[in-house]
Structure 1
Amino acid sequence: MFSDTCFAHFLDVEDIVVNHQLIYQVLLREVKQPNPDEMWFKIGDSIVSFTMEDFCLITGLGLEGEDKRSVFDSTYCRIKNEYLNHLSSISTSDISQFFINSDYLCDDDVVRFGLLYFLTNLMFTVTYKRLVEESLMVLIDSPEFNSYAWGKELFKITLSSLKVGLRNKYLIIEGDGKPYLAYRICGFVLAFQVWIYETIPILDGKFCSRISSRSPRMLNWTSRVNGTFNYNLNVEKDIFGRPDECCFTKESMTRSINALQSKHEKLISDQFKMKMEIHNLFTDFANSIVDGIEAVTSLIGLDQLD
């Protein structure tokens, strides 16, 4: 069953709408850096990095194990030969149509086609031709499916596409007849968007909502705002136009720590003053008792008795 696979937790993910405007604004702020396995961005006054570890914490997918599907290329593809042998090439649309319309699959193959449908339409948002690689179908039918390093492979595909996305723009004509520049990002872009949510705290309540504090982190967010079409929300103006609030900066963290330290020092000072006041009151009270005793003993002459 799907609930027994390494992707089962995605059944608990709330609605998250891709916010193209938000992703675009972050990509515009990429900075050059020496590590090819990361992307760095200047958000507000901070330099922040998107790493494989971030991706896996967000998605809950593993880093360990085999991550090269090429080892499955020469393996017999049962799924294709039994169900899709009439097709010379298989597209994501073919997978979708077969999964939705087929009524003669066994339970195990229903799950396998469900996984293919899930992976090819959500996780691997592939190239323009949207062809499904045979190695993916072999892997889904393999006992190694759950131990495969899906997190590592998906991160590599997503990172590579994010790096070149803005450089590979192309012209499209919309329904209004006007030309627009567009770009395509492959891989699991929603993980990058959730990383943006985690990185820019003032997005919460404006473009997304934090609903819990669970693991993996993708379960903690929901968003029903599509920044492409909702022109009342301006990412550049409302978010990136406020650099002091845009990110957890070193300076803002230092200010917060200093403020906490100042409050702590004041609290210690107040406690010390209170203790000294109590001590002084007790000392005054004790001295008054001693003075009273001395006065009484002097009065009755007890101080002269041995």
Structure 2
Amino acid sequence: MFEFAMITGLNITGDEATGDGTQRRNMLHDAYFEGQGTVLLTQPFDAIRRCDQMLDRLKLGLVYILESMVRCHHKKTTTDLFHLEIVDDIDRFNDYPWGWRCFEDTVYVFIRSHSKLKGAIRKYDTYGLPLTVQIWAYETVHLMGARFARRGETRCPRMHHWRASRSEGCST
């Protein structure tokens, strides 16, 4: 967990409660998704284009970045409605321990993938491999880092000093 937090720079401490059980009015959900039961990952991006309120665009953008880049969900995955609720209070959103949540997502992906047998060989499904794990691999498996990325100056969070190698056709 400590290495994960150092690599990402994401907060791992703070208010972890996802709510106190009371139903709150979710203004973004009501305004841009008409209270739909589920919101696909592509829908916040579409809502940004339709939105003329700059603050709502910011909030929808934060949810889209969180779901698609930080949590690395597939485009057919539903957006966690809690994210649409918490982003309504920017300070609460910024103080939330996203590092802890992303760490749990990463562990879940590897446990789920490892438990699936394909023939006699265990394989990992790394679709949507969180950027944190990619950077961690660069730092710990030096051959991988040398082949797929360039290391820049050392600074914290550590993910800031890695750049994709253009010659290998990779992008980060």
* TM-score normalised by length of structure 2: 0.81
CA separation of 1:124 and 1:158: change in aligned 2, threshold 3 A: same
Aligned to 1:139, which of 76, 86, 92?
86
Shift of 1:59: 0.5
1:100-133 Cα distance to aligned partner (Å, 9 max, x none): x21x432211110110111111112337850112
Instruction: Give the match for residue 77 of structure 1.
Output: 26
Question: For 1:50-65, what aligned pairs fall within 5 Å after superposition?
Answer: 52-65=1-14
Please report how far the alpha carbon of residue 204 of structure 1 lies from its aligned counterpart in structure 2 after TM superposition: 3.8
Gap regions ≥5 residues in structure 2: none
Q: 1:208 and 1:184 mapped to 2: Cα distance?
A: 22
State the alpha-carbon separation in 1 of the partners of residues 9 and 143 from structure 2: 24
Say which one has the larger Rg.
1
- Match of residue 91 from structure 1: 40
Q: Which residue of 1 aligns with 2:153?
A: 212
Contact 1:166 / 1:183 at 8 angstroms: preserved in 2? yes
Sequence identity, in percent?
A: 23
Tell me how far apart the structure 1 counterparts of residues 107 and 16 of structure 2 sit (CA, whole Å): 15
1:71 and 1:186 map into 2 onto residues whose CA distance is 33
Alignment of 1:219-234 (within 5 A): 219-224=160-165, 225=168
Secondary structure at the aligned position of 1:209 is classed as strand
Conserved in 2, the CA contact under 8 Å of 1:161 and 1:187? no
1:77-226 aligned within 5 A: 77-85=26-34, 87-99=36-48, 101-102=49-50, 104-126=51-73, 129-142=76-89, 143-168=91-116, 184-185=125-126, 189-224=130-165, 225=168
How many residues were matched structurally? 165
Segments of 5+ residues of structure 1 without an aligned counterpart are 1-51, 171-180, 228-306
Deviations 1:5-29 (A, max 9, x none): xxxxxxxxxxxxxxxxxxxxxxxxx
RMSD: 2.9
Which one is further off, 90-99 or 213-222? Answer: 90-99
Q: How many Å separate the matches in 1 of 2:102 and 2:76?
A: 19
| SS of the residue 1:197 aligns to | helix
Distance 2:22 2:163 in 1: 38
Q: Flag the 1:185–1:205 CA change in 2: closer, same or farther, 3 A.
A: closer
* Deviation string, structure 1 residues 30-83 (Cα, Å, up to 9, x no partner): xxxxxxxxxxxxxxxxxxxxxx11111000011110224254772210101122
CA shift digits 1:229-257 (9 cap, x unpaired): xxxxxxxxxxxxxxxxxxxxxxxxxxxxx
TM-score, normalisation: structure 1? 0.48
